[in-house]
């Protein structure tokens, strides 16, 4: 563990360094906030102890600057003139803890232990979020810039959005971004894959059911609409939803209320619905498979996600992202792609879109050389 001690009193910073070094920590020191800030910007510290009263740049200014720039280090403020107001102000500006002088060794060691545990939790949470929320929207091509611009305009509203695009193109990422940039971001985000739920169960999944409403209904169940109350409900592959379920979804959108299967009691819900499909819903309407009135309710805003073949300029960025993601998750050593290998990938017909690209990158990381060559691509990818 790496620790930075910032204090204008040489005796204190040197004593802290000596004590913490004896405890097995890697410790560096700085004599004021300006020097400490420069060191913190260049080095990766787990914990930073910072005095409040210092020349050039005091501790509170240091705290404000380092917090604004973003840091994973736990900042612990120390002062010989501590009071409740100062302590509260430091915590508000991002300090992990506040310790008064004279410094107590046990208190310092406990603080370091707590900071380490918090850092581990933060890291675990980040990994979990990546697993739950999936990959980011990567790309600087013109189609992706248009989508980002549209999301920034639409997300703050409650307008319903229909996302179209082929399988694996990243429709769910657009839905997630709409939620995260909306005023509902602190509320639930619930996903439903309409194609993965049997038609006889879709109504129970969406609207819930009462105990005894059918043979296997052994207890009351809240549906996805209720679970998403106050937040966003993402109906993925809505083109595969049965006509009877479509009629009930239409009623919820019109009246903002639903009734569980086996009940005639109305339950009010406040849900923003975002839907996605890989089908041509206009054709589905003509074929009698999709309700036209529901289509118009869902498609206030339509966002089309391009296929990977329509945004080949983004492939190097996506490959780089997947390399870092896969190597971080699996512990594999990072590899690079030669320019010639990258050109081969950019020229491939990506029928499986982003999903297929990620699988190919993982395959090449496992089977390819440290610098992935055109030969590696030709041997392991169906071009």
Contact 46, 26 (CB under 8 A): no
The residue written with tokens 């013109």 in the block is 142
Contact 304, 165 (CB under 8 A): yes
Flag residues of the chain having pLDDT under 50.
129-134
Contact 144, 184 (CB under 8 A): no
Cβ atoms within 10 A of the Cβ of 262, count?
15
| Structure confidence at residue 64 (pLDDT) | 86
Q: What is the rounded CA–CA span in Å between residue 251 and residue 330?
A: 46
| Structure confidence at residue 130 (pLDDT) | 46
Structure letter (DSSP) for residue 79: E
| Structure confidence at residue 144 (pLDDT) | 93
On the CB side of 163, CA atoms within 13 Å amount to 28
Give me the domains of the chain, ranges plus CATH numbers.
2-132 (3.40.50.2300), 142-306 (3.40.50.300), 309-380 (1.10.8.60)
Q: Which H or E run contains 45?
A: none
Residues 78, 84, 86: CA angle, nearest 5 degrees:
55
Peptide bond into 70 cis (omega under 30): no
Beta bridge partners of 372: 337
Q: What is the rounded CA–CA span in Å between residue 104 and residue 348?
A: 64
Q: Render pLDDT for 71-86 as a digit per residue (tens, 0 to 9).
A: 778 899 988 776 677 7
Contact 261, 210 (CB under 8 A): yes
On the CB side of 21, CA atoms within 13 Å amount to 11
Distance of CA 23 to the CA centre of its chain: 37
| Structure confidence at residue 134 (pLDDT) | 43
| Structure confidence at residue 125 (pLDDT) | 54
């Amino acid at each position: 563990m790496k620790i930075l001690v910032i204090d204008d009193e040489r005796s204190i910073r040197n004593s802290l360094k000596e004590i913490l070094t004896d405890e097995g920590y890697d410790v560096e020191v700085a004599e004021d906030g300006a020097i400490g800030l420069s060191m913190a910007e260049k080095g990766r510290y787990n914990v930073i102890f910072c005095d409040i009263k210092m020349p050039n740049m005091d501790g509170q200014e240091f705290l404000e600057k380092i917090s604004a720039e973003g840091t994973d280090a736990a900042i612990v403020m120390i002062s010989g003139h501590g009071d409740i107001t100062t302590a509260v102000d430091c915590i508000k500006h991002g300090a992990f803890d506040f310790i008064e002088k004279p410094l107590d060794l046990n208190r310092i060691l406990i603080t370091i232990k707590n900071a380490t545990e918090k850092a581990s939790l933060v890291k675990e949470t980040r990994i979990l979020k990546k697993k739950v929320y999936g990959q980011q929207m990567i790309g600087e091509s013109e189609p992706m810039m248009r989508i980002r611009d549209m999301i920034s305009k639409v997300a703050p509203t409650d307008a319903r959005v229909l996302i179209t695009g082929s399988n694996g193109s990243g429709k769910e990422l657009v839905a997630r971004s709409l939620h995260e940039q909306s005023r509902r971001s602190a509320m639930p985000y619930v996903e439903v894959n309409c194609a993965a739920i049997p038609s006889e169960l879709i109504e129970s999944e969406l609207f819930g059911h009462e105990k005894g409403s059918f043979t296997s209904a052994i207890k009351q169940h809240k549906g996805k609409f209720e679970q998403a109350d106050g937040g966003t409900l993402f109906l993925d592959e809505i083109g595969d939803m049965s006509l009877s379920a479509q009629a009930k979804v239409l009623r919820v959108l019109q009246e903002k209320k639903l009734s569980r299967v086996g009940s005639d009691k109305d339950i009010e819900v406040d849900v923003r619905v975002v839907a996605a499909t890989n089908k041509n819903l206009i054709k589905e309407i003509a074929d009698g498979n999709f309700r036209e009135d529901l289509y118009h309710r869902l498609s206030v805003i339509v966002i089309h996600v391009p296929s990977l073949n329509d945004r080949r300029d983004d492939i190097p960025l996506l490959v780089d992202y997947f390399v870092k993601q896969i190597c971080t998750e699996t512990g594999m050593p990072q590899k690079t792609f030669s320019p010639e290998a990258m050109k081969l990938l950019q020229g491939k017909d990506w029928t499986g879109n982003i999903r297929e690209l990620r699988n190919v990158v993982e395959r090449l990381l496992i089977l390819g050389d440290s610098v992935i060559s055109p030969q590696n691509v030709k041997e392991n990818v169906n071009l």
